[in-house]
Chains A and B, each alone.
Chain A
Amino acid sequence: MASCALNSQHLTFPVTLRRRRAEEKTHLVDNIYPRVFDAILERRIDTDSRFTEASLGQMFGVNRNIIRQVLARLSQQQVILLLPNHRPQVAAPDAERTRQTLHARRLTESTLIRLACQQPQSTQLRHLRDLVARERESAERGLRGPTLRLSGEFHLLLAEFVGNVPLAWFLGSLVPPISLAIAQCEVPWNDHDAWQSHGAIVDAVERRDVSAAVRLMNTHLDKLEKQLFQT
């Protein structure tokens, strides 16, 4: 019996330690990811930038393992292209690709916003409002990268709350490339009021006002499209 207890102690200690290390690592990745994405959205890291895992690691003060995971996440989001034996590269979606992405996004968001209005939870609404407040703050401070990124995160958070995993997953590959396309837009981008549309959308969701929520979402996406294609 005693040896059993000793054994289990031997076993649990390194396991908890390992788990704690894994948690710290995830935490670090979560912290570095927005900083790298912001740098891309502000075009401090651009399509023609030459960088490696090591140089990015140095730039952001973390090891290559962390950077590798951040890049993997960005590649899943269609923001970074990862080619074996090549340096990572910032994606440059062309107009056709962006148009198709936006189209797919409209369809997906149109279902999601309707579902979101069905049973909004108060904690979810609070999270969304917190996010809108952060969007507003970065817009007012003129922080272009964070403003664009948080604006995309709003849509992904809304999708997450709906609870349809495949739909949210699909949207996850559609929103970041649009943020990237906006960042790479030649024309000056006016994104200072996205938080206002988002705030209005949260209000409509809270009232369970489907038609208003849908209308606001459509107007919001129309505006995105207009800016992207100058139509």
Chain B
Amino acid sequence: MITSSTVVNSVVEKLRAALARGQWRSGDMLPGQRELAEQLGISRPSLREAVIVLETLGLVRSMPGKGVVVLEANLSDSQSHDSAVAGASLEDVLQLRYTLEPFIVGLVAQSISSKEVGQLRLTLMDMREALEANDSEAGVNAYIEFHEELFTLTSNPIFQSVVQQTSNALKQSADVLRNSPEHLAERLEESEAMVRAIRSKNSAQASAEMRRHILRESQRMGIELNIPDDHMHN
């Protein structure tokens, strides 16, 4: 089964936007899988994955044998989730990333398929092309996409909602990222090191690379990350 996380992510965003617009009201059933997949121009497996993400975010609920129902209370929840991160400082977000992402990447390294590794490498190639073309816009987009793809691969659904949050935070800080095109080469180098570790299924190494990347990222942003000492050795 080919599951492109980029496709899944863009479907998640489309559906989220449609829900936020009120295209479907709480209690409505989403159109059937076949119809919805056709409308969105994607495969049914991708749609199913997108629905799992939305379900984890509390926006919809699958009712076996009935379809997918749109939730109300959780729609406003997800807005308050957004604001939990929107109101947070860059340092808080980096600290959150440092707490969870090394571990999540370690999990991904244990379970990733070669096809999924291939997808990650393709995104890194986009990043390299952008770097060579001096296109910082495309470079930042590829970096954010890489981050999203990586975490869509996590097998622990509890992390999905928080990953969505950090992705949103990354998008919010995209301007900061874009204003420093000279950092793109470093970001690419660090991401490549991460993917090398993931590819060789070296969980500990992948975690270490993510830790290094987030520390470097905070240095690049001029933030002194408050990391309690012996955390490094975990």
Contacts and interface: CB of A to CB of B under 8 A. Distances in A.
Our verdict on whether A and B bind, yes or no, reads yes
Nearest to B87: A165
Given A104-B158, A210-B230, A82 B74 contact: yes
Given A84-B71, A104-B156, A211-B230, A169 B95 contact: no
A76 B72 CA distance: 12
A41 interface: no
Contact of A167 (B74, B95, B229): B95
A104 B160 CA distance: 11
Interface stretch (B36-44, B77-85, B185-193, B195-203): B77-85
A117 interface: yes
B88 interface: yes
Contact of A169 (B26, B84, B159, B234): B84
Residue with the greatest number of chain B CB neighbours at <10 A, chosen from A71, A115, A174: A115
B94 to A, nearest CB: 10
A139 B141 CA distance: 53
A166 interface: yes
Interface in B147-195: 156-159, 161-162, 165, 169
Interface stretch (A106-114, A124-132, A147-155): A106-114
B99 A111 contact: yes
Contact of B228 (A72, A117, A165, A173): A117
Nearest to A106: B103
A9 B76 CA distance: 34
A227 interface: no
Contacts of B100: 104, 107-108
Contact of A72 (B73, B158, B161): B73
Residue with the greatest number of chain B CB neighbours at <10 A, chosen from A75, A84, A117: A84
Nearest to A108: B99
Nearest to B99: A111
Contacts of A167: 92, 95-96, 99
B157 to A, nearest CB: 7
A83 interface: yes
B178 to A, nearest CB: 23
Contact of A82 (B71, B87, B162, B228): B71
B96 A75 contact: no
B70 interface: yes
B23 interface: no
B88 A82 contact: no
Contacts of B96: 164, 166-167, 170
Given A164-B92, A169-B81, A111 B71 contact: no
Contacts of A49: none
Nearest to A173: B161
Contacts of A101: 158
Contacts of A71: 73
Contacts of B85: 165-166, 169
Contacts of B76: 72
Residue with the greatest number of chain A CB neighbours at <10 A, chosen from B99, B161, B165: B99
Interface string A60-99: 0000000000011001100001111100000000000100
A118 interface: yes
Interface of B: 26-27, 58, 61, 63, 69-74, 76-77, 80-81, 84-85, 87-88, 92-93, 95-96, 98-100, 103, 156-159, 161-162, 165, 169, 226, 228-231, 234
Given A108-B99, A114-B231, A174-B158, 6 more contacts: A110-B99, A111-B95, A111-B98, A164-B92, A165-B85, A167-B95
13 contacts: A72-B73, A75-B58, A76-B73, A82-B73, A83-B61, A84-B26, A84-B70, A84-B71, A100-B156, A111-B98, A118-B226, A164-B96, A169-B81
